[in-house]
Amino acid sequence: MLGILKVAFKLLVNDRGKFVALLTGITFAVFLMVQMTSIFAGILRKAAATVTNTGAKLWVLDPGVNNVASSIPMPDYVLDAVRSLPGVKFAVPFFSGAALVKLRDGTYQPVTVLGLDDTTLFGRPRLLEGRIQDIYRDYGYVVVKDEEYPKLEKPGLGTSFELNDNRCVIVGVATLPSSGLFGLPTLYTTYTRAVQDVPTERFTLSFVLAEAASPADLPAIKASVSRLGYQALTDQEFIGKITRFYTWHTGLGMNILLMTGIAFVVGLSISGQAFYSFTLENLEKFGALKAIGAKGRELVYMILTQAGVTALGGYGLGVGLTALLITLAKLRIPEYASIVTFGNLLLAFGMVLVISAFTSWFAVRRVLKIEPFEVFRG
């Protein structure tokens, strides 16, 4: 059997033109599939950045909220009600809103303003410069140094702006694990200052950040919050809700799915045609092997080996090309959202296996039908 497989490998690689065509088809398909799904994964990661960066285990929100950027303000009694629930370890208010900052050259830049609980500053970012206590100073704000930081002209400590006609002084420069989706710089301040400086509706409470005393208390807390007319979600449940919203309720998810499907069909058609053509050109060799005693299952193993080598080679080249281009893109465009995940790789690998199985099936059918005497006819 090992000898048969060696013959199959030599047949494959010796025909360099067909081998390169097969690799090119698989590589191109894998590149498109991984690239598209990686872009989508990066977008979803940025869409849930506030949830990830804050670190809260339990979020209380209006049931109509589907992402952090479109919060629906709640009355202040919701915070008191959550704090009074049995099993709640702590609960703090959290503000999320948008504002306009007037830069020194007179231009305006939209920003995201996040308001932290005045007492605990729960969810605060890690500071690179300054002291977190200075956020209590008059007009104190902390700016996040991420991909959007240059849009504020790279402010340092002591830099002042006009934010919605209110004075804003940078007292700290921070970093976060992930930046937001919409390309807006992020400013942190206290909850009280945020609701004063950013225009809001009658209610000002965007979210309640809480933590249960133990996992066993979560069902009771969720049920109690639901009776209030609101929703309590763990951080992973909230991220899942955001993911479903961008996947199924925006054009983004369907467009990515469509492009991934097109890449799959392209790879399937190119690889299928090339591999079937390769099999037809080598029918005489398969027939000769059959004439000298090779069994049908051995010929099947030969074809599966050829398809497997091509699939794995193309998969590796496609993933490598995707990783290279994403790395180069992020060097030139820091806010580029694409990220390769294990899920993306497994999805692409599964599709490559389908392509390999599909192309092998047609080749196996053709090879098994050949009769040895046809090789020596004429």
Q: Look at residue 251 in the predicted model and tell me its pLDDT.
A: 80
| Closest among 288, 295, 308, 323 to 356, alpha carbons compared | 308
Alpha-carbon dihedral of residues 138, 155, 107, 193, nearest 10 degrees? -30
Q: Is residue 138 part of a domain?
A: yes
pLDDT of residue 257: 82
Domain contains 330? yes
Q: Are 99 and 164 in contact (CB under 8 A)?
A: yes
User: What's the confidence (pLDDT) of residue 374?
Assistant: 61
Spans in the chain with pLDDT lower than 70: 1, 372-378
pLDDT of amino acid 127: 96
Distances in Å between the alpha carbon of 243 and those of 107, 114, 337, 371?
34, 21, 15, 55
How buried is 181 (Cβ within 10 angstroms: 0-12 exposed, 13-18 middle, 19+ buried)? buried
Rounded to whole angstroms, how far apart are CA atoms 353 and 261?
Answer: 15
Are residues 144 and 183 located together in one domain of the fold?
yes
Calpha distance 6→27 (Å, rounded): 24
Q: What is the pLDDT of residue 231?
A: 97
For residue 162, give the H/E element and its range. Answer: strand 160-163
If asked whether residues 113 and 197 sit together in one domain, one would say: yes
**Which residues, other chains included, contact 237 with Cβ-Cβ below 8 Å and sequence gap of 6+?**
none
pLDDT of residue 370: 74
**For position 111, what pLDDT does the model report?**
95
Instruction: Quote the number of domains for the chain.
Output: 2
Strand pairing category for 166-175 and 207-212? unpaired
| Domain shared by 224 and 259, yes or no | no
For residue 65, being part of any structural domain is answered with: no
Answer whether residue 300 is part of any domain: yes
**Domain coverage including residue 196:** 75-229
Residue 240 lies in a domain: no
Residue 60 lies in a domain: no
Same domain, 147 and 212: yes
Q: Do the bridges between strand 140-144 and strand 166-175 make them parallel or antiparallel, or are there none, so unpaired?
A: parallel
| Conformation bin of residue 106: beta by default, left when phi > 0, alpha when psi is -120 to 50 | left
Neighbour-count burial for 234-266, b at 16+ CB within 10 Å, e otherwise = bbeebbebbbebbeeeeebbeebeebbeebbee
Of 229, 264, 279, the domain-final residue: 229
**Same domain membership, residue 183 and residue 289:** no
Tell me which of 180, 196, 229 is where a domain ends.
Answer: 229
Does residue 220 share a domain with residue 82?
Answer: yes
The last residue of one of the domains, among 199, 229, 259, is 229
What pLDDT, on the 0 to 100 scale, is given for residue 303? 86
Which pLDDT score is estimated for 265? 83
In this structure, the answer to whether residues 371 and 281 fall within a common structural domain is yes
pLDDT score, position 375: 59
316 within some domain = yes
Q: What pTM was estimated for this model as a whole?
A: 0.83
CB 337 within 8 A of CB 43: yes
Rounded-to-5 percentages of helix, strand, coil across the chain:
55, 20, 25
Is there a domain that residue 189 lies in?
yes
Note whether 234 and 85 are within 8 A (CB): no
